[in-house]
Chain A
């Protein structure tokens, strides 16, 4: 049962989502991860997915489903996945799986995009507050089908976000008030 992800309807996407806006207490997690794709057209490889350049894109070149694999060195907590999409070759059904490696991936989210344009935020939280973050070694984004039943897909960028670690180590909760923060570090 595909659910629409938030903001994928045209109405919601237009406007704010042309820019990527993320909460301050989140940071991009996948800089040190190993990214790989199931197939690509020459010149439009996996690098284009991560180059912060919205003009370059990854184009797949094989049979569906197309897979983007993200492997982390240590268990990472992930909250959002952002897609920047195109009009043509746009994915429509996406499944996100998580696990320890290729052998035990389990689907944690499946969504269907309806006419997306711009950044799509896919929150990986479950309903249970305990599952706000996904703690995992590997994330796999599977593109099951495209718009208009196209064979290949374009994705311009993918970013993975998780919470910022507490700047003060060995501390259960982060500080919020100015008085605490002022005294909390020596610079």
Chain B
């Protein structure tokens, strides 16, 4: 009876019938109380977004997998201490971290959320070494600024690792490992900006057990979203793979419907895991319609759906607990043939997943990691709980398949030969390398380099939501809003339901003052997902553009409530407070943003501006300098740093920085203007006039240029010219205050400057 019940529960989970699963599982636990069964029950609850139930069930359990699941529930409930204690018991320092890479990843996230940077970095690195396809871990490292070059991470060692994972061996292996790996792998791969859809698909798929072995081909690899090769096989995915919202299914979307996967079985819950739930992000593959589980937020179980495991199932062991969804689908990443990363981790042999235990399905929670092939890099914009985009690589089916299952994985009986795995692994890694490098560079704000790297991607990968929105972000950081708009537009076309990066898009439109487009975007995002912070950020930007700062502030506060780990929402709140002249709250908001992510240079900039306004120039200079260190290429930051130095009367240094700013971006007129200001203070009027003449060419309708020139001429006693320029300045329709100032200046033209207030 136990076996029947177990099978029933797993079946229900696979088909997303949670109520049934929970009910049956409770009978199971009552009848045959055992830790494995309670794990199963916990998985059911996690899949159904009831982390609190899982929490209570698992409290106190000591099996590795239980601890992992427990940590996941705690993480979802924001009980970080307990989560940490579960994964890493304080009195057993040498205890092994449960679930291998997934556990390390979750632990890394916990450390990151509690500000312990070094430990976080250590664990992410561990996770990556255990599972080179754990893109999400790599992504987190990039965000923390501590990532190594992609080439080393996704290099040969990784290749060997993957191969090992995918060669069939013991099926039974608890998927856990596989999952972890899968997740890892997949994530990493996926992270690549996979094509939008494919990615998502992938992720989604990833989880879903694509067991469909063999056929995986589903993910038409490369581009394709690794749709998870649904392994036809019996992938009994019974795992409920952690609720990874993996919408594994979603993953499929987009890219080619899982090709030929023979068995495409979307293993149960796995697919679901596509984190879809969580943020509409990435998972939203438009095409993927996989049921987005709304788990997401919580369990970032990432299913590394990538797993193409064609073969049944080993899919994704329920990655359950794995944090962010690394849906390591067990997917045997078999033969990751090129496509996505095969997460084969789990594939241990066809592994009959069926083992009563829950196979950790690498569900990805929250993240829709791209299935296998595509690195779904679900890039979360925010620092959301790392939804790691587990880009599960869906391994190109065929190969995976063979690996996977011996069992039913129908994998069409494809025997994956070791060499196919190798080829697949290396292709996958090659893809991940590009994506990883690109992401790393863009996190370091070396945007032009990042763009050059992304261009190396194959067409189909490039045209995915993730990659295109990364490209958009890179242009945004380079203050090239027009190109950014273009890139984001393509991203929206490629994956209209993805919210990843849309907050940055809304800011781009804000800068371009396109209120129609911006309000359209905001409306669409809200109707797609009312619970995503990005939608409310876009809405807030819309109101802010119309100068309705109070409503904008309300919207941003909503975004903060929805996800307090989304740094950008805090920063935007700060901007609105400052616009309303509420500096205290503004400072608080900026500091919250920095608490979430110290490398968020916008918040440093915001603080610098506040102090500049309050005339606390020392503080202001310090903050601008911090922003400058994080993003040393931004000409805007440099010009403000120069302004602060000017205010501190350190004119020489100010001039140096201004020169750098001018060199950094020829199209930015501000540093030139500030340079002129500084020269005026240094009484170098000729120099200033020269600079202003140059500026006149560039921005002929800028009233402040003429006004400043007027002032200089007045100082030089060249009254005619001064009058001319003041007149021109007035013609350019400056603001009311300036009209008053300029008119007053005209009146007092013949009054010596010392008496003049302004000068």
Contacts and interface: CB of A to CB of B under 8 A. Distances in A.
Nearest to A176: B703
Given A172-B758, A174-B735, A183-B479, A133 B702 contact: no
B702 A132 contact: no
At the interface, is chain B mostly helix, strand, loop or mixed?
Answer: helix
A169 B674 CA distance: 12
Given A173-B703, A182-B479, A187 B735 contact: no
A79 B736 contact: yes
Given A26-B736, A180-B670, A169 B612 contact: yes
A122 to B, nearest CB: 16
A3 interface: no
A183 B480 CA distance: 10
A164 B704 contact: no
B728 to A, nearest CB: 12
Interface in A139-187: 163-167, 169-170, 172-180, 182-187
A61 B311 CA distance: 88
A173 B729 CA distance: 10
Contacts, number: 113
Interface string B74-106: 000000000000000000000000000000000
B717 interface: no
A172 B702 CA distance: 14
A25 interface: yes
B545 to A, nearest CB: 10
Contacts of B512: 182
Contacts of B601: 186
Given A132-B740, A163-B737, A179 B510 contact: no
A25 B736 contact: yes
Interface stretch (B318-326, B408-416, B632-640): B632-640
A176 B732 contact: yes
B743 interface: yes
A185 B608 CA distance: 12
A11 interface: no
Contacts of A176: 701-704, 732-735
Given A177-B699, A179-B669, A187-B511, A169 B704 contact: no
B740 A183 contact: no
A174 B733 CA distance: 11
Interface string B490-513: 000000000000000001001111
B142 interface: no
A98 B729 CA distance: 31
Interface centre among A164, A176, A177 (most CB of B within 10 A): A176
A167 B579 contact: yes
Interface centre among A130, A177, A183, A184 (most CB of B within 10 A): A183
B740 A130 contact: yes
A130 B736 CA distance: 12
A3 B118 CA distance: 73
Nearest to B661: A183
B708 A130 contact: no
Given A176-B733, A183-B635, A183-B669, A170 B643 contact: yes
Interface string B583-627: 000000000000000000110010001001101000000000000
B347 interface: no
A180 B670 CA distance: 6
A185 to B, nearest CB: 7
Interface string B722-736: 000000010011111
Contacts of B758: 172
B502 to A, nearest CB: 15
B590 to A, nearest CB: 12
B341 to A, nearest CB: 35
Given A166-B737, A169-B613, A183 B670 contact: yes
A183 B667 CA distance: 9
A24 interface: yes
Interface in B466-499: 479, 481
A130 B704 contact: no
B744 A186 contact: no
A176 B581 CA distance: 21
B698 interface: yes
Given A179-B699, A180-B704, A186-B602, A170 B612 contact: yes
A33 to B, nearest CB: 14
Contacts of B613: 169-170
Given A169-B612, A180-B673, A183-B669, A175 B740 contact: no
A102 B733 CA distance: 38
B737 A187 contact: no
A133 B481 CA distance: 37
A173 B734 contact: yes
B569 interface: no
A129 interface: yes
B704 A173 contact: yes
7 contacts: A23-B736, A130-B744, A172-B741, A172-B758, A176-B733, A179-B698, A183-B670
Interface of A: 23-26, 79, 128-130, 132-133, 163-167, 169-170, 172-180, 182-187
Given A26-B736, A179-B698, A182-B479, 11 more contacts: A25-B735, A129-B739, A129-B740, A130-B744, A130-B747, A167-B579, A170-B647, A174-B734, A176-B702, A183-B635, A184-B636
